[in-house]
Every structure is written in structure tokens, then in C-alpha cells.
A = this chain, B = another copy of it.
Amino acid sequence: MANIDVGEDEFKMNVAEVEGNIDYEKAMKEFGIEKIGKELGKLKNLPLMYRRGIVIGHRDFGLIAEAINNKKEFAVLTGVNPSGNLHLGNKLFIDQALFLQQCGAHVYIPISNDETYVFKKTSTLEQATQNAYEKVIPDLIALGFDPQKTHIFISTQTPHLYELAVKLSAKVTFSTIKAIFGFNNETNTGQIFYAVMQSAHILFPQLPQYGGPKPVVVPIGIDQDPYMRLVRDIAEKVGMVKPSSTYHKFMPGLQGGKMSGSKPETCIYLTEDPASARKKIMRAFSGGAATLKEHREKGGNPDIDVACQYLYFMFEESDKKIAEIFQSYRSGTLHSGDVKTMLADKVEKFLTTFQKRREKAGEHIDKFMIE
């Protein structure tokens, strides 16, 4: 879905397993997702995820580029499932939203406490709501959103949201939802309705109360495309603009597999003690050879080395430097330990700065919330 999944990942990718090597080209072709490229042409100060092919595909991003270039109103939407604190994988979504906000977008962030509860990631709805206010929202604020252009809302507490979901629900049968989400008769009715509520989150910025129909872009992973297809179908039926989407590659988990917020060994939380983060990084999956000697002779594989990948995805801003790092790692002159230390230093610096900002974030929540 459009949400950042900060807990257990409930959905398997339809086209390919998320773990291991994913044939993004094949998946995009199968889903009818276009490669992103020329749409980015006129945009300035592109962040690394657009420069480096991390964001690889899109639907209707042309609408967004056009809105940016002509200074027209548009929005970016990125949901958060409040099952716990945000981690670096979530930050990949947020960084895209922050960039688009700099390009003029209003950012809408639904916090799906309903999703958290009906998918049993918390034992009570109250816990999910508490996570929203105490964990997720302060994390979001500390990441640097502009309060003038940011609209955070809690799924169960936002006027007009259930009303919008009701409108959409009349257009969607159980068959449709069942096929997309793999539901069956034993699925609880909360999960069934949440499928529609999720579309309501995405279409929410197009309500008359928020200025009516407009281009909206949702940055997602390619496994979430079925939900985009659903919401795009629905949008058409209710006279709204079909939302655009961009698709990014998966940032690997620390152990090389999938990253999951409910598995601390796979991710680094934004609120994690920097020393703990350093330890996790030093133990991360390495693409280097078995021995230092062998690494010097044969080189390593930066494409599967987690430290190399984290630098590539997020922490090495310079394209020149990242190319050098990859080349040296591949040739064997740069070792796994070196790259891990390089990353750990950068992550430590980021976490320290972030956590300092976060201390006071809680005081500013009201400035960011709808209602």
C-alpha cells in the first residue's frame, strides 16, 4: 500500500519475492509502469534517489513535473503505519516527500492507526494511536517538514475521511479487494474496509476542503503497485484526478534480506542509540570476500554489500565519491570494514543531529496536524 510499513510486512510481492534479486524491469513491464527519466528533466537539485536510479518507475509523474514546472498546486502523499518508531527504510519515502515539498508540494501524511490495529500489529487501537503521537509524528516532524505545507492526520480521528471512504466503498466489491489483497472469508471486516480507507487516504487531498481535484503523487515500492491500480480506478469513478506514483528499489535489510520495522536486527531506527546503530552496521551483511587477502585479490561486490548500498541509497551525497567507493570496493582496495566504518560515522552523525531535533518535536505537533 501507500503506507510505509513500519511493522511486520503483511504483503508478499505478487511478481517477485522482495528478498533476493528483483527483476524490476520485468515487474514494471508486467504492471505497465513506465521508466522514469525524461519527466525529471527540468527538475532542479534532484536528490540522489532520483539521480541514481533508485526511483526507477512511475505512473503519470508527468502531471507532477508539469505542476512543478508551472508552479501549479499539487500534493505528495505518504502514509505511515504506526506500529513503532520509524527506521531508515521509512526515511527513503520521507526523503522523497521532503524533496517534493521543496518543489512546492503540500505533503499529506495519513497515520493509519486503523490499519495497525485491524492487522493486529498492536493489541489495541489505543496503542496504535499512542504510537502515532509519541513515536511516529515526532519522528516525522524532526525529519524537517515545513509546517505550512504539511498535513498529518490520524485515520480514525479526521473529519471527512470516513465520509470519503464511504463514497469509495460503494464502488468497490469484495471480489476486487479479495483479488488484490489475497483476502478470504475469514478475513476480518476491518481489513476489508481498510483496503478502501487506504484509497481514501490517497484521495483525501482532492476533497473540496483541501482545494479539490489536483495532481497527487505517492512514492512507493513496486510491490505496492496493486493498491495504486485500485485507487486509480476508483479516482476515475468519483471524478478525481488519478493519483500519480513513483516506484523505488528496496533498500536491503542489515542482514541482506528484507528490512522490517518489527525485526530490529534488520533495520536502524531513527531513535536508536548511535552506538547500537554502529554495532549493527559493523555486523551487517558484507559483499566482501571471505578473507582480507582474498578481498585484496578478487575484490568485493558493492551491489550486495549492505554498507555500500546504504551509502548509495542514503548516506553518500556525492555521486563522484559513491562511484569511487564502489570501484575501490569492487577492485579490492577498499575493504568491508572500511566501508562499514565510513557508513557508521555518517549514520552516527545523522542520528545525533536527528535525535537532537526530535527532542523538541513533540511540542510542535499541533502545527502539523489536520484538526
Contact = CB atoms under 8 A, between A and B. Distances in A.
B192 A166 contact: no
Interface in A222-255: none
A44 to B, nearest CB: 42
A169 B185 contact: no
A162 interface: yes
Given A171-B188, A186-B175, A166 B125 contact: yes
Contacts of A120: 170
A172 interface: yes
Interface residues of A, number: 34
Contacts of A161: 162
Given A167-B117, A170-B120, A195 B185 contact: no
Interface in A138-195: 156-157, 159, 161-163, 166-167, 169-175, 177-178, 183-190, 192-193, 195
A171 B189 CA distance: 8
A114 interface: yes
Nearest to A169: B190
Number of copies: 2
Given A125-B167, A193-B193, A174 B162 contact: no
Contacts of A156: 162-163, 166
Interface of A is mostly: helix
A118 interface: yes
Contacts of A187: 173-174
Given A125-B163, A162-B162, A174-B183, A169 B189 contact: yes
A18 interface: no
Contacts of A185: 173-175, 178
A196 interface: yes
A157 B192 CA distance: 21
Contacts of A184: 174
Given A175-B185, A189-B196, A193-B193, A118 B163 contact: no
A187 B184 CA distance: 14
Interface in A104-132: 114, 117-118, 120, 125
Interface string A191-233: 0110110000000000000000000000000000000000000
Interface in A12-61: none
Contacts of A177: 189
Contacts of A188: 169-174
A169 B125 contact: no
A161, A166, A178, A195, most chain B CB atoms within 10 A? A166
Nearest to A186: B173
A161 B171 CA distance: 22
Contacts of A183: 174
A166 B159 CA distance: 15
B192 A189 contact: yes
6 contacts: A117-B170, A118-B169, A120-B170, A169-B189, A173-B186, A189-B193
> What are the 10 closest A-B residue pairs judged by CB atoms, nearest first?
A169-B190, A156-B163, A193-B193, A162-B162, A175-B185, A169-B189, A114-B166, A170-B190, A172-B189, A118-B170
Given A169-B189, A193-B193, 9 more contacts: A114-B166, A118-B166, A156-B166, A170-B190, A172-B190, A173-B185, A174-B185, A174-B187, A190-B196
